[in-house]
Amino acid sequence: MDVLVTLIEAYEGTHYPIPAPDPIAAIEFMMAQKAMTRRDLEPAIGSRGRVSEVLNRKRPLTLPMVRELSKLLDIPTDILVQQYETRSAA
């Protein structure tokens, strides 16, 4: 049975890989799971305006933010450090 499970996992990993989630989507998902508001992110990100900029993709996450968000939301840092699309503040 273990051999069969290993073979199936290898096949699915090769033919149907599941991409890592977008960092902002991961943050929003964990906020919903933990019933958190944007205000709850202020200790990890900074002011209310900075939280808004990050969640609206106008400002990228910094390394200190990634570290704090990882602790606060229990999200692996390798998900939070991925590249993601930001929008210009125009």
**pLDDT, tens digit, 9 for 90 and up, residues 7-27:** 999 999 899 988 888 999 999
Residue-wise pLDDT for 29-38, tens only, equals 999 999 999 9
> Does pTM surpass 0.85?
no
First-residue to last-residue Cα distance in the chain: 57
- Secondary structure of the chain in HEC code, one letter for each residue: CHHHHHHHHHHHHHHCCCCCCCHHHHHHHHHHHCCCCHHHHHHHHCCHHHHHHHHCCCCCCCHHHHHHHHHHHCCCHHHHCCCCCCCCCC
Residue-wise pLDDT for 51-87, tens only, equals 999 999 999 999 999 999 999 999 999 999 998 888 8
pLDDT of residue 89: 56
* Closest C-alpha to 61, from 45, 77, 39: 45
